[in-house]
C-alpha cells in the first residue's frame, strides 16, 4: 500500500476528509466518539501528516528545534523534557540535538544548516560570540537560553531565563545569612569566553554587600559543569589548604560532585560546609542532605518561549526574564 492519505482514513471511518483533517490539526469541532474512531483508524492505517504540504497551506511546519550542550547532563535533560511536553500540548513537534559546546556545531545550528523547515530555534550556546549571532543569516526565529546566551542577547536577539546575576547573588546571600563567611565558588570557566561570568558577578555582589573581600584562593575553575569537575574542585580546595565553610556551585551537577568529595573527606554537610547549587533539578531532592538550589523557572521559560515563537517576530528580542527562587528543601 502506498502513502496513506486523509481520504483513506475518512473512507475507513465513513466521515469526510474535513473531519479527519480537523482531528489531525486540532481544528474545528469533532464529537468525542468520532474523534476516537478517527484516531483509531489513523493508528491502524499508519497515517502520517505530510509536513511539506501542511507548511505550504499554513506557512508553518509545526516543527521547532532545541539545541543544548549535553543531553547527558540532568538540567538539559529536564529542560528538554519540559519544553517538548509544553510544545506537544500546543500540537508542535520538537527536534532535539546536542552540541557538546563545540563551536562548529553551534554555528551550524545557529544557521539551521541541514535541518528541515523550522518555525523556531531554541539554542543554549557555549562557544558562540556576539559577532556570530549578529551576523546570522538564517531567518528562523531564534531564542537563546542559558547563562552564556544571556550575554549574547541584544535588541535583535532574544534570551529567556532568570536574571543570572541576581539569582547568584541570592544564592550567595543564602550562605551569608547562615553564618558562612568563607564561601568558595565552583564553576568559573576562563577558557570559554563570557561563560559563567554573570553568576560570578552575582557572587561578588553578595560578598560586597556583606563587606567581605574576594579571596582568589576560594575560586575554582572547571572545564565542564558535571559531577567529576565538582568533585575535583573540592579536591583542589583541600590541596590548597584554604579554609571554607560554604560552597556556591554554578549548577547542581557540580554540587553533587562537591557533596561526594566533602563526604570522602569526612566534612559534614551542612554543619562543616554548606553547599548551594543552581537549577534545582529533581535529583537534588534525594541527596543527603537535600541540596538547596536556585530554581531557574524551567516550566515558565518553556511556556514563555513558545508564546514568543507564536507571536510577532519583532517581539523576539532582548533579555526576557522569568522569576527564580531559592529552594531550601
Would you state the pLDDT for residue 195? 43
- What DSSP character marks residue 292? P
Which residue did the predictor score with more confidence, 216 or 57? 216
Question: What's this model's pTM, rounded to 2 decimal places?
Answer: 0.79
Q: Where are the beta strands (DSSP E) in 137-292?
A: 142-144, 158-161, 183-188, 219-221, 246-249, 274-278
State the architecture of 164-295 in CATH terms: 3-Layer(aba) Sandwich (3.40)
pLDDT at 111: 92
By mean pLDDT, which of 36-50, 134-148, 155-169 is the weakest?
36-50
Contacts of residue 253, defined as CB under 8 A and 6 or more positions apart, other chains included, come to 73, 74, 75, 225, 226, 227, 230
- Please, what's the largest Cα pairwise distance for the chain? 79
Q: Do domains 6-49 and 58-161+297-323 have the same CATH topology?
A: no
Judge whether 188 and 233 are in contact, CB under 8 Å. Answer: no
Which architecture, in CATH terms, is 58-161+297-323? 3-Layer(aba) Sandwich (3.40)
Q: Does the pLDDT at position 319 exceed 50? A: yes
The proportion of the chain whose per-residue pLDDT surpasses 90, expressed as a percent, equals 74
| Domain boundaries, given as residue ranges, for the chain | 6-49, 58-161+297-323, 164-295
The pLDDT, as a whole number, for residue 57 is 52
CATH topology of domain 6-49: 434 Repressor (Amino-terminal Domain) (1.10.260)
- Please give the Cα distance from 145 to 129 (Å, whole number): 14
Amino acid 59: pLDDT:
56
Interval 72-124: pLDDT, tens: 999 999 999 999 999 999 999 999 999 999 999 999 999 988 788 899 999 99
- Mean pLDDT rounded to a whole number for the chain: 91
Check pLDDT > 80 for residue 51. no
Residue 56 is predicted with a pLDDT of 44
In angstroms, rounded to a whole number, what is the distance separating the alpha carbons of residues 233 and 261? 9
- Residue 49, pLDDT > 70, answer no
pLDDT at residue 44 is higher than 60: yes
Residues 170-222 pLDDT 10s = 999 999 999 999 999 999 987 654 445 889 999 999 999 999 999 999 999 99
Amino acid at each position: 500500500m502506498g502513502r496513506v492519505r486523509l481520504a483513506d482514513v475518512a473512507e475507513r471511518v465513513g466521515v469526510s476528509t474535513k473531519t479527519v483533517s480537523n482531528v489531525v490539526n486540532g481544528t474545528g469541532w469533532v464529537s468525542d466518539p468520532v474523534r476516537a474512531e478517527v484516531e483509531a483508524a489513523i493508528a491502524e492505517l499508519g497515517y502520517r501528516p505530510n509536513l511539506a504540504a501542511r507548511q505550504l497551506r499554513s506557512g508553518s511546519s509545526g516543527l521547532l528545534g532545541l539545541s543544548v550542550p549535553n543531553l547527558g547532563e540532568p538540567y538539559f535533560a529536564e529542560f528538554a523534557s519540559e519544553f517538548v511536553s509544553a510544545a506537544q500540548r500546543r500540537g508542535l513537534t520538537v527536534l532535539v540535538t546536542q552540541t557538546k559546546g563545540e563551536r562548529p556545531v553551534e554555528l551550524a545550528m545557529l544557521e539551521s544548516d541541514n535541518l528541515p523547515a523550522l518555525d523556531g530555534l531554541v539554542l543554549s550556546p557555549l562557544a558562540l560570540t556576539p559577532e556570530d549571532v549578529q551576523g546570522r543569516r538564517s531567518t528562523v526565529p531564534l531564542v537563546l537560553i542559558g547563562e552564556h546566551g544571556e550575554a549574547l542577547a541584544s535588541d535583535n536577539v532574544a534570551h529567556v531565563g532568570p536574571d543570572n546575576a541576581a539569582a547568584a547573588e541570592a544564592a550567595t546571600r543564602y550562605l551569608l545569612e547562615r553564618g558562612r563567611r568563607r564561601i568558595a565558588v565552583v564553576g568559573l570557566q576562563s577558557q570559554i569566553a563570557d561563560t559563567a561570568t554573570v553568576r560570578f558577578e552575582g557572587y561578588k555582589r553578595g560578598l560586597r554587600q556583606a563587606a567581605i573581600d574576594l579571596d582568589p584562593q576560594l575560586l575554582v575553575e572547571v572545564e565542564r559543569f558535571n559531577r567529576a569537575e565538582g568533585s575535583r574542585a573540592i579536591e583542589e580546595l583541600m590541596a590548597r589548604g584554604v579554609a571554607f565553610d560554604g560552597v556556591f556551585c554554578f549548577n547542581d551537577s557540580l554540587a553533587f560532585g562537591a557533596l561526594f568529595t566533602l563526604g570522602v573527606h569526612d566534612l559534614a554537610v551542612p554543619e562543616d560546609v554548606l553547599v548551594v547549587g543552581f537549577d534545582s533539578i529533581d535529583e537534588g531532592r534525594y541527596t543527603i542532605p537535600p541540596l538547596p538550589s536556585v530554581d531557574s523557572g524551567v516550566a515558565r521559560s518553556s511556556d514563555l518561549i513558545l508564546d514568543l515563537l507564536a507571536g510577532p517576530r519583532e517581539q523576539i528580542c532582548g533579555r526576557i526574564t522569568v522569576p527564580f527562587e531559592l529552594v531550601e528543601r
